[in-house]
Amino acid sequence: MNTKTFRITTVWSAFFATFLAFSVSFAQQAHAAERPNVVWIVSEDNSHHYLRHFFKDGAPAPNIEAMATHGVTFDHAFSNAPVCSVARSTLATGCLGPRIGTQFHRKHTIATLPDGLRMFSEVLRDAGYYTSNNSKTDYNATPSKEAWDESSRTASWRKRTNDDQPFFHMESHGQSHESSLHFSQQVFENEKTITDPASVKLADYFPNTEKFRYTHARYHDRIGVIDGIVGNTIAKLKEDGLLEDTFVFYFGDHGGVLPRGKGYIYESGLHVPLVVRVPSKWKHLVDRKNGSRAKGFVSFIDFGPTVLNLASVDVPGQMDGVPFLGAGISASEVEARDESFGYADRFDEKYEFIRSLRKGKYQYIRYFQPYPPGRPAEQLPIPHAGFHRMARTL
């Protein structure tokens, strides 16, 4: 082969390689553009009991209630753990914490994910999605650098360089966090709440005192702040012309901040609000009418697989959860689900070893550490367990 022929061959080879790479990239982008966007709006530390949409004595949340009229309310949505980092690790991986070593809140050593297991946001990125997180992570396992396109306090779908690229965006809001109820005596005496303390309905196990009523009313006010944030995010999507192309999930990350909630494996620590707004363009992916209420059980292990299914991405076999929305998921099948698994281990300085199974209206709790610290081994009783029937006061 002479030099001229070699140069021509090289040029054509480079051209075809470039053309092929461009064609593959274009095909991926075109396919990705045909998929829905998904937004998660997460409020911290509130169970479903604090919202009127779920519990008649809860706080009004007109923006969340408006979402429900354009989508589905899930009356039995559960965090698998009653504390932040454990719950968020479950959300990110679609796996039960005790199986992959992420069940300890504030552990000394961050877990390494099992070989081959990736956070679902990374799986979405591989499928052509732009993924953003604003901004809390709080994982108990080390995420890969590919988990997010951006994870920061300024992360947004608006930072995509290609407006046709589908996106998954997660935003977490601490305005309802337990710290919002850390107030001084001076605040108690001088700052009135929007919610009338006399109007709040207390569970039977709460003290009926002036200060506790004030605390409860103050938290209802925080739910109002969260509802405003939900409204703002919806407004941004509408402003961008994306609302009817985007599934919007609103949910709490685990139980509420008052006693018997956060950190405890009871109903009040695990039962979370979940509303999914269904975009008109993708209504065919949901086997339900707008404004409907689902009674079947869903839990955090199912949330990631659900997003993957909505995006037409295969759910990795290592994940424990199953989708509850998207192609191939019938409402009747979801309605038949009536089980949810829970676990509570380390919570800061408090160590427990508890597992629970919610089956229909009953919750079975098994306590595997049946002794107080320092008790002699010969005095240890056998592990104990108990059934709890669900009641409105939970």
**Residues 314-348: tens digit of each pLDDT:** 999 999 999 999 999 999 999 999 999 999 998 87
Domain closes at, from 338, 356, 375: 338
Residue 108's pLDDT band, with cuts at 50, 70 and 90, is confident
89 neighbors 343 (Cβ within 8 angstroms):
no
Model confidence band, residue 6 (pLDDT cutoffs 50, 70, 90): very low
Distance CA 112, CA 100 (A): 8
Same domain, 20 and 141: no
Residue 284 is given by DSSP the state G
CA distance 327 to 282: 10
Q: Structural domain tally of the chain? A: 2
What is the band of 132 on the pLDDT scale with cuts at 50, 70, 90? very high
The pLDDT value recorded for residue 94 is 98
| Beta bridge partner(s), residue 275 | 73, 250
Residue 387 lies in a domain: no
The per-residue pLDDT for range 137-175, each reduced to its tens digit, is: 999 999 888 999 999 999 999 999 999 999 999 999 999
For residue 303, what are its two tokens?
A: 């949330």
- What's residue 377's pLDDT? 52
Which range, 102-116, 249-263, 361-375, is most confident?
A: 249-263
- DSSP class per residue in 190-221: H---SS-GGGPPPPTTS---HHHHHHHHHHHH
The upper half-sphere exposure of residue 228, i.e. CA atoms within 13 Å in the direction of its Cβ, equals 8
Gap between the Cα atoms of 229 and 217, Å rounded = 19
Report the pLDDT value the prediction gives residue 222, as an integer from 0 to 100. 97
pLDDT of residue 209: 97
Segments of the chain assigned E as strands = 37-43, 71-78, 130-134, 150-151, 167-173, 246-252, 271-277, 292-299, 339-347, 350-359, 362-367, 384-389
**Structural domain includes residue 7:** yes
Q: Give the domain CATH number at 193.
A: 3.40.720.10
Question: Does residue 348 form part of some domain?
Answer: no
Question: Which of 319, 338, 357 is the last residue before a domain boundary?
Answer: 338
Residue 111's contacts (CB-CB under 8 Å, 6 or more residues apart) are 100, 101, 102, 140, 141, 142
Identify whether the C-beta of residue 117 lies closer than 8 Å to the C-beta of residue 338.
no
Q: Mind listing the pLDDT tens digit for each residue in 182-212? A: 999 999 999 999 999 999 999 999 999 999 9
**Percent of the chain beyond pLDDT 70?**
85
Residues 141 and 1 in one domain: no
**Residue 135: both structure tokens together:** 């901004």
Residues 67 and 4 in one domain: no
Give the domain range for residue 5. Answer: 1-33
Give the number of other CB atoms < 10 A from CB of residue 321: 24
For the cut 90, the answer to whether the pLDDT of residue 309 exceeds it is: yes
pLDDT, position 21: 44
- Where residue 393 falls among pLDDT bands split at 50, 70, 90? very low
pTM: 0.88
Quick check: is 320 in a domain? yes
- Measure CA 220 to chain center: 21
* pLDDT (average), residues 79-88: 95
| Predicted pLDDT at 131 | 98
pLDDT at position 26 = 43
Please report whether residue 351 resides in a domain: no
